[in-house]
Structure 1
Amino acid sequence: MEVCAARAPGKIILAGEHAVVHGSAAVAAAIDLYTRCSLCLMPLADDEAAATLELDLKDPGLTFSWPCGRLREVLLTDEAAGAREARPCSPDRLASIARLLEEHEIPEAKIWLSAGLSAFLFLYTSILGCRPGKVTVSSDLPMGSGLGSSAAFCVSMSGVLLTAAGVVTAVGGISGEGMGWELVGKDDLELVNRWAFQGEKIIHGKPSGIDNAVSTFGSMIKFKKGELTNLKSSNPVKMLITDTRVGRNTKALVAGVSERASRHSDAMASVFNAVNSISEEVSSIVELAANDEIAITSKEEKLAELMEMNQGLLQCMGVSHSSIETVLRTTLKFNLVSKLTGAGGGGCVLTLIPTMLSNLVLEKVIAELESHSFRCFKVEVGGQGLQVCQGGCSYFNGDVV
């Protein structure tokens, strides 16, 4: 029985959401909340009818399984076509995968899982063929809240499958948290990113590719008009993420900003230009080295001012929400600055945690936010991307594998 695992981080947008659609720069960063995938590849059974592929989703508490013979029959494939080159999922293959999913009674309340299950079946059978195995998935990331949960799923899944296929290998350099997590070389990360993007296309249709890039490579990136620039944060940046638990319709929010831009073209052009300036300045600030408390405090104050300005401009675009405003008012009581991250209209809010802020004050902030039924996560921004664990990983999220 071969065992391996992979984990990939979620992401936040530090600056530039919505305006990026209209040509402005934006800045995204990895956070230390992860989606983890483990894989146990089973030996080929003498009784072929007993060979199955199993997917165990820990968070919703659901397990799915497919007889390997049925996968071969429906997908008309046995061996993987080659893992070293990422290929898109053809319409015919996607239709075949849909037939496999119809054979499972997915609860109506969990119907959103279908796209993720389709991505899983595509990635698994494309990279490993119809080999029997068990994949286990768990995540720190709330789904559908703008923290890149689907990208982290596709990146960690692609990472563990390519590792099992012998195409991706760890390069050493323990990631810092023990448990056997190791880093992956740049060329291997490029391959993982290409496969993960194919998974994201199944889930989202026309993704930008930004979420999977941040989850794969980690750190921070600036993106503008399709071009990505890697940023290197010289000092740790800590944030409090507040999940308002309010769902939102991203497409409707993006369309609403475009409609407002059509009605008030000159005013909104100025808004987008201002956001571009903020994103460019954020990019410069995060790369500045700060070697003492005074320099660190100055850097954090500048970042807080830019976040505050960006939030005001997002309000001008019409994408705030009463739940977001509640977070802003609550954190402002403690002289902390917050801004929405992602589409807005609910979702998640970032609050900058200054280095000198006491834990006592932070706990008071969290307690007040949670009294509104919000959920809070303390994160470090700009950390590692994909990490893998080969052979020696005896535990996976508390479970023996």
Structure 2
Amino acid sequence: MEAGDIQGEMLNKTLVVSAPGKVILHGEHAVVHGKAALAVALNLRTFLRMSPRDDGKIFLQLPNIGVKLWWDLVQLQPLLDAFPADRTESKPPSPEQLARLKEFAGTADGPGEIHDVATVAFLYLYLSVAAKSGVLPSVDLLVWSELPTGAGLGSSAAYSVCLAAALLSGCGVVGYPLGEGQSLARWTEEELDVINKWAFQGERVIHGNPSGVDNAVGTWGGALRYQSGKITPLKRVPTLRILLTNTKVPRSTKALVAGVREKLLKFPAIMEPVLISIDAISRECEGVLEAMAEGSSQGHYSVLEELVDINQHHLDVIGVGHPTLDRVCQATAALGLHSKLTGAGGGGCAITLLRPDTPPSVVEAAVRDLSRCGFACWETDIGGPGVCAHALPSLKADVVKVLNGV
């Protein structure tokens, strides 16, 4: 492939895509021990704008983490030697590929900071898709996210899904679904499968050995069940209102998982029934969500609230609670709301279920009380769509402003 013969037809227009974050609704930690977990799309999204250039350069901007880089295509051309054209989306990144990309990006000796791994993940996906399509595009890429990084909300997967969708569409490997006059569109099931597989490889660059859950939620949206390595999307799920709270307390997922394992080994007759109960909560919730998708009722919300409360108590029992999470539960319970941690626990984030008729005054009071604790809060929803293509003017004003570089 010659550097002078590199512009694909699809790159004659600007592409705008978005992908959601994720939360674990039920099944945290139990999933490590072969139980079921429910992961759902979080409608805090990552947005990507990719525009064609005609100067043989690539610009990458990630304003959330302070990345602003550019390269000449002639600089990237030699790296294609490590990316054969017959490469498939099911083949993981090789150590040789990653070593060359890290050396090129100047991150070979670094500690793996977020801006470094994000840059290497971009280069990996860009070159993989370029080799597959025979197109080395000159583009301007800007990625901005509503998701906080490092909070267990799938921010890296949303990034990988957006990159995969835009690059595959821009290079003609999959179609770009947004037609004239449309404000939003989604890819076909077959194309989503290709996007998901490439996004998973991007996640491998970032995390080494991810489960595949986060990128699957980012691609497909809705909700899925994960158990013993098997990912099963739920056929139909309702969209649920939630309050998401970030306690801003950092935690080590590895240490928390090890702590649960230690308790299980020490007290198997006590801990195993708790994990079995968490599994039952996930399955009960799955049934409720599918019933709600057929036609909602207040009775379903009462069950969901009870399941949230029970699961939070179980998570405390297995040792992954935290005083800040207790404060979230207490502050929201005082207003008649129901909360639980989501993810690894030990700090991190919590979700609070909101009914359709929860008064705005109650939500405002919850946000006020939690903000006074030093926490960050968002009112959003879960269960919405996965990766989407957008007409830029149809997006929220603050998103349009960022994507336009204002």
TM-score by length of 2: 0.88
What is the distance in 1 between the residues matched to 2:352 and 2:107?
Answer: 44
Choose from 216, 226, 232 the match for 1:223.
226
Distance 1:86 1:389, change over 3 A: farther
Deviation string 1:173-213 (CA, Å, 9 cap, x unpaired) is 99xxx983211110000000000000111111111101111
Say yes or no: does 1:265 pair with 2:265.
Answer: no
What is the distance in 2 between the residues matched to 1:278 and 1:302?
Answer: 10
The 8 Å contact of residues 8 and 387 in structure 1, kept in 2 or not, is answered as yes
Distance 1:256 1:179, change over 3 A: farther
Distance 1:179 1:327, change over 3 A: farther
Provide the aligned C-alpha RMSD in A: 2.7
Q: CA offset at residue 234 of structure 1?
A: 4.9
Amino acid at match of 2:160: C
Amino acid at match of 1:57: L
Distance 1:235 1:87, change over 3 A: closer
Aligned pairs for 1:27-66 within 5 A:
27-43=38-54, 45=55, 51-66=56-71
Say yes or no: does 1:286 pair with 2:289.
Answer: yes
The 8 Å contact of residues 66 and 115 in structure 2, kept in 1 or not, is answered as no
Choose from 242, 247, 269 the match for 2:245.
242
Distance 1:179 1:250, change over 3 A: farther
The 8 Å contact of residues 233 and 288 in structure 1, kept in 2 or not, is answered as no
What is the distance in 1 between the residues matched to 2:220 and 2:338?
Answer: 28
Q: CA offset at residue 82 of structure 1?
A: 5.7
Q: CA offset at residue 136 of structure 1?
A: 0.4
Q: CA offset at residue 70 of structure 1?
A: 2.0
Amino acid at match of 1:322: P
Aligned pairs for 1:78-89 within 5 A:
81=85, 85-89=89-93
Aligned pairs for 1:295-314 within 5 A:
296-314=297-315
Q: Tell me the residue number matched to 2:404.
A: 400
Choose from 128, 131, 141 the match for 2:130.
128
Amino acid at match of 1:231: L
Choose from 7, 11, 15 the match for 1:4.
15
Q: Gapped runs of 5+ residues in structure 1?
A: 46-50
SS in 1 for 2:248: coil
Q: Tell me the residue number matched to 1:102.
A: 106
Name the count of aligned residue pairs: 387
What is the distance in 1 between the residues matched to 2:353 and 2:44?
Answer: 17
What is the distance in 2 between the residues matched to 1:361 and 1:392?
Answer: 33
Q: Tell me the residue number matched to 2:3.
A: none
What is the distance in 2 between the residues matched to 1:104 and 1:201?
Answer: 17
Q: Tell me the residue number matched to 1:256.
A: 259
What is the distance in 2 between the residues matched to 1:289 and 1:322?
Answer: 33
TM-score by length of 1: 0.89
What is the distance in 1 between the residues matched to 2:18 and 2:52?
Answer: 18
What is the distance in 2 between the residues matched to 1:218 and 1:42?
Answer: 31
Q: Tell me the residue number matched to 2:77.
A: 72
- Percentage of pairs with the same residue: 35
The 8 Å contact of residues 178 and 389 in structure 2, kept in 1 or not, is answered as no
Q: Tell me the residue number matched to 1:166.
A: 172
Say yes or no: does 1:22 pair with 2:33.
Answer: yes
The 8 Å contact of residues 220 and 382 in structure 1, kept in 2 or not, is answered as yes
Q: CA offset at residue 100 of structure 1?
A: 1.6
What is the distance in 2 between the residues matched to 1:32 and 1:119?
Answer: 23
Say yes or no: does 1:148 pair with 2:161.
Answer: no
Amino acid at match of 2:199: A
What is the distance in 2 between the residues matched to 1:235 and 1:12?
Answer: 15
What is the distance in 2 between the residues matched to 1:4 and 1:83?
Answer: 25
What is the distance in 2 between the residues matched to 1:146 and 1:87?
Answer: 26
